[in-house]
Amino acid sequence: MPLLSVSYVNYRNLENKTIDLLSKEVFFVGENGQGKSNLLESIYFSAYGNSFRTRSDAEIVREGEKSFSVKSLYREENGNTASLFFTYENQKKRIEKNGKTIKDRKELINTMPCVLFCHDDLDYAAGEPEKKRFFIDQCLSMYDVLYIDLNRRYKKILKSRNLSLKEKKYEMLDIFDQQLAQDGIEIQKKRSDTIFKFNQIFGKLYEQITGIEGVSIKYVPSWRTEENQPVTMNFALSVLAQKREMDKVIQTTMSGPHRDRIVFVRGGKNFVPNASTGQRRLLAILLRIAQAIYYTQVTEKNPILLMDDVMLELDPDKRQSVTTLLPPYDQLFCTFLPGEPYERYKKSTTKIYAIEGGKWEVKS
């Protein structure tokens, strides 16, 4: 479902006009701070209704203005042209798909699926456990609307349980535990299945690029039996019961999927602590490539790839290797600094834009 164009009004520092994106590959070339990442962000915003750089839509509004809008045209599988229109005004966001209002961003799932490669992806390889859990949840949420509902429901129950602990209102804990266990078990199962399938892709990619074999992703769920048997309702409830006194003291829930860990291992040992910065950066990039491959395997659809200055920390050979490993895609959007050898990656159909001061022109 390729993107045809995006139109802007008061979106960051970008010019108030339409950019033509009808090409298999589009490169944005310019110095830092000129708007390359803003263009990439706007494409991501068109796909998911939010930014990958901020949680506040107000930060996207151009300085001195009070609102912004983005309109995207894309081609559906049946060949028809469709539209997405986003407006932010009076601290409220409105989303329209083909002229009809969308009340929940989950309705955008599978409309224009994007896989984003950016500098912050390093957190998924070497960051806090929360970041790694987020990555796996994102992989599931790209195609599974039911998982979005499940995850939201679990977080809502968890918030209520933690509030009861803080306010010392313990009479509702038994009910919350039942709900938490029921949804938590389902989350752990979906995460476990996803990571199992993910490992069939990821380890081979890493070996192909580095020659290092045996690197894999290990899932360490918070609720787990010694024999690694499927977790039952009774088992999850027993763990919650055992932890309850500690939960009361700390005033937060100490077990459940929100405490799951995801570890990169090789030979049974944690691989990341001794990995170089380059190896960690490569892990992050290959995670994204694996995410795109996994999405295609599950849905039989190719995503749009967004790459925001992710090659800078790799040596030339690794850059070339990563480029050859990119999976099939509907479109590829990349940002480059002027001095980068982007010419070597372009194809005969690639469209290259020179970006300066939020404005763009086709580069010959």
Count other C-beta atoms under 10 Å from residue 202's C-beta.
Answer: 23
Give residue 164's Cα distance to chain centre.
Answer: 32
Q: CATH 3.40.50.300 in the chain, residues?
A: 1-113+302-364
Task: Tell me which residue has tokens 């699926």.
Answer: 113
Ranges of residues in the chain whose predicted pLDDT is under 50: none
Q: CATH 1.20.1050.90 in the chain, residues?
A: 121-300
Q: Is the distance from CB of 94 to CB of 102 less than 8 angstroms? A: no
Architecture of the domain whose range is 121-300: Up-down Bundle (1.20)
pTM of the model: 0.93
Q: Is the distance from CB of 73 to CB of 21 less than 8 angstroms? A: no
Task: Tell me the chain's radius of gyration from C-alpha atoms.
Answer: 22
Of 87, 137, 69, 77, nearest in space to 112 by CA: 77
What's the pLDDT at 364?
Answer: 61
Sorted by sequence, the CB contacts under 8 Å of residue 223 that are 6+ apart come out as: 184, 185, 188, 231, 235, 236, 239, 255, 256, 257
CATH says 1-113+302-364 is which class?
Answer: alpha beta
Distance CA 315, CA 236 (A): 47
Distance CA 12, CA 41 (A): 10
